[in-house]
Amino acid sequence: MSPNDIETLEAATVEAVAPDAVLHLPGWLLPMDGGTIGRAHSAVPLSHPTTADAQAVQTAQLAHIMGVYRERGRLPVFRLPDTAVHLHHALAAQAFLRVEPTWVMLGRIAALAHTPLPPGGLPIGADIVALDHPTPGWQAVFLGPGFDPVDGANRVRNLSRANGTVFVSAWVDGQTVACGTASFGQGWLGIHGMRTAKSHRGQGLATAILKSMSGLATQRGIDRVFLQVGAANTNAIDLYRRAGFSTGWGYAYWKPLH
């Protein structure tokens, strides 16, 4: 990826989760939020430098960033690519711990649009609906059994207040059984909050939601898509690979032990 692609993707990522506030420092975004969404309250670099001089500049900025968060009564947390070893070493020396390894996955809208559904198609009575607000049914899936209700409520709140977000649901016989969220910014389609009720997994509903999002992106003249998925979530990763996604880079959060 080009440096500009990394910068626009990270900006789109932060915009989609609508933090309480975002500060801008040279080469960094500093989102501030009181909720549970890591991307909404962790500092993220806007480049992945490979030269020693550029890496030294990033490392020198850490202390200032920590001070900015602490001055505002917030814990300094960093969201760093796996390649940023210079930053990892500096934070580890200050008792920061690496947690929640995650993959950034990238794709093209054309490939997403042509992802095949299961041979038998969707369940009888299935329908895909896209709205500019989360319906009670959409929220019920997002907060349903198997998902953290506190984290889910925070995600519903933040995703709902982002500009231009579209909430896509899969209905079967009038009941919402799967959902996802599409954001559009910085030239990217961002995919967030994919959820499917346990009773309806493996039926192609998540794929249908992704295909619906690809159509929304095409209408807006967008041809690139990204998402972020936990590195241990192999079922979701397999789904996204079938939809044409590949791994852009890995990252993790760095949190202070005290």
pLDDT in tens, 172-223: 998 999 999 999 999 999 999 999 998 899 999 999 999 999 999 999 999 9
- The model carries a pTM of 0.95
**Domain assignments of the chain as residue spans, ordered by start:** 3-102+252-256, 106-249
Instruction: Note whether 72 and 218 are within 8 A (CB).
Output: no
Residue 3 has a pLDDT of 85
Domain 106-249 in CATH 3.40.630.30:
yes
* Residue 54, amino acid: A
**C-alpha count within 13 angstroms, C-beta hemisphere, residue 37:** 24
Sign of CA dihedral 237, 238, 243, 245: positive
pLDDT number for residue 258: 76
pLDDT digits 0-9 by tens, 116-138 = 999 989 999 899 999 999 999 98
